[in-house]
Amino acid sequence: MNEQAATTAIVVGAGPAGLMAAEQLSAAGHAVHVYDAMPSAGRKFLLAGIGGLNLTHSEPAAQFGSRFGARSAAVAALLQDFGAQQLRDWAGALGVDTFVGSSGRVFPVGMKAAPLLRAWLHRLRHPAQGAAVRLHMRHRWTGWANACADAAGTSLRFESPQGTSVVSADVVVLALGGASWAKLGSTGAWVQPLRERGVDVASLVPANCGFDVAAGWSAHFVQRFAGAPLKSVAIRFCGAGGEVFARQGECVATATGVEGSLVYAASALLRDAIASKGEATLFLDLLPGLSAERVLAEVAHPRGSRSLSSHLKSRLGIEGVKAGLLYERLAREDMAQPPRLAAAIKALPLRLSAPRPIDEAISSAGGVRFEAMDTRLMLRQLPGVFCAGEMLDWEAPTGGYLLTACMASGRAAGQGAAAYLAQPAGA
């Protein structure tokens, strides 16, 4: 085992939160060493940018800060110092301009994550002021160097191709991510070591995820419609606590159920309802642009010798996966009754039995509870150890919210760690 010399600051995790923490410590003049299990930095950040990197959202700050569920107040406090506009200014200082899309989402000009990450890493390694940041890739954190629960938390053990090493520091920032997309480094393996040190960690669960339908789809439906988009639909759902979700958008039929942006937006309520009651039923409006009365009138219109499928297509434009869902979920006798068929078109019940596995989710919820940290994001159980990013106990919808909060928390943790180093010994 290689026992390395002590350093000033260690950041574990080379994602956006970790790199932002390292930037703050570097700017304060501290030697910073960033460790990450992956071969290169920002792997999940780069994946997020494949379809166009959604950096943040342009909506008003108060509305932005309300997007984090039960933890909105805690996250909003972080966003006061580094919100959407500050993130855009930060990207601009790296030479990457941004623009607001038609949905209010903010993207870098060029839409790619790689140019932004390259410029950021270059500035970290070669800062105009402060100390250079050194990255150590293929170093997987495996816990504390001392197994004693009362020992300091700033001596860490890593596994790398060169073997086991122990590194000590004056401060440590943990930015280890959640538990989605494990192949990119977010495994959630950090939960147990923190719990063993007495840190209060909420169990990690999938967020922004798809769901399985109860009893599954038929083989015929899967063969014909798995992966088919459901466009211009709406869903309505009443959560376990009485919360009502109603929104129009798009989703996708999968081999086991449903996913996509509209489902992701309701995923927290759906997941919690399933955890509470064992299942959740959402109602899918296949024609949100038409009233129930209009749909009934069109369904009841005499169809002559035409088949029901042809009738629905010609009168209402229902075909493909929308028609497949009706045949999949309605009995033959219900399809033959215009009032029942029309009611199903406007509110087709889909019973959901489980969220998809956490590794398939866009993000995860749960993590280190805010009550386990002080206002600087330092762990109360482990002085000198700070936490940031998706490993904190929050969740956010898609739209740039999670990325902004990750970077805001990384900034806060880095500044908190720098302030900790600046305080008099024994304070």
- Three-state DSSP at 108 gives strand
Q: DSSP secondary structure string, 120-171?
A: HHHHHHS-SSS--EEEE-S-EEEEESS--TTS-S-EEEEEETTEEEEEEEEE
Per-residue confidence (pLDDT) for residue 150, from 0 to 100: 47
Per-residue confidence (pLDDT) for residue 28, from 0 to 100: 94
Assign 152 a pLDDT band (cuts: 50, 70, 90).
low
Q: Which of 43-57, 271-285, 342-356, 380-394 has the lowest mean pLDDT?
A: 43-57
Instruction: Give the mean pLDDT of the chain.
Output: 93
194-203 in b/e form (b: 16+ CB < 10 A) is beebebbbee
Per-residue confidence (pLDDT) for residue 146, from 0 to 100: 76
Taking the alpha carbons at both ends of the chain, their separation in whole angstroms is: 34
| pLDDT at residue 4 greater than cutoff 90 | no
Assign 183 a pLDDT band (cuts: 50, 70, 90).
confident
pTM for the whole structure: 0.91
Q: How many other C-beta atoms are found inside a 10 Å radius of the C-beta of residue 349?
A: 10
Q: How far is CA 181 from the centre of its chain?
A: 10
CA 239, 243, 244 angle in degrees (round to 5)?
Answer: 90
Please name the amino acid found at residue 183.
K
Q: DSSP secondary structure string, 228-240?
A: -EEEEEEEEEE-T
Q: How many other C-beta atoms are found inside a 10 Å radius of the C-beta of residue 62?
A: 8
For 206-254, the pLDDT digits (tens) are 999 999 999 999 999 999 999 999 999 999 998 877 889 999 999 999 9
Per-residue confidence (pLDDT) for residue 426, from 0 to 100: 54
52 Ramachandran zone, left/alpha/beta (phi>0; psi -120 to 50): left
Per-residue confidence (pLDDT) for residue 117, from 0 to 100: 95
Q: DSSP secondary structure string, 355-423?
A: EPPGGGSSEEEEEE-GGGB-TTSBBSSSTTEEE-GGGBS----TTTHHHHHHHHHHHHHHHHHHHHHHS
Let me know if domain 2-204+367-422 sits in CATH 3.40.1440.10. Answer: no
**Residues comprising the chain, all counted:** 427
- Three-state DSSP at 348 gives strand
Measured N-to-C along each axis, helices 401-422 and 84-93 cross at an angle, to the nearest 10 degrees, of 80
Where, residue-wise, is CATH 3.50.50.60 in the chain? 2-204+367-422
For 72-120, the pLDDT digits (tens) are 999 999 999 999 999 999 999 999 999 999 889 999 998 999 999 999 9
425 Ramachandran zone, left/alpha/beta (phi>0; psi -120 to 50): beta
CA 40, 45, 47 angle in degrees (round to 5)?
Answer: 90
| pLDDT at residue 342 greater than cutoff 60 | yes
- Three-state DSSP at 50 gives coil
Q: What torsion do the CA atoms of 255, 257, 262, 263 make, to the nearest 10 degrees?
A: -130
Nearest residue to 369 (alpha-carbon basis) of 201, 158, 205, 118: 201
* C-alpha to C-alpha distances, 342 to 284, 300, 310, 336, nearest whole angstrom: 12, 9, 15, 10
For the purposes of burial, counting CB atoms within 10 Å of the CB of 70, is it exposed (0-12), middle (13-18) or buried (19 or more)?
A: exposed
Please name the amino acid found at residue 130.
G
DSSP bridge pairs for 134 = 33
Assign 201 a pLDDT band (cuts: 50, 70, 90).
very high
250-276 in b/e form (b: 16+ CB < 10 A) is ebbbbebbbbbbbbbbbbbbbbbbbee
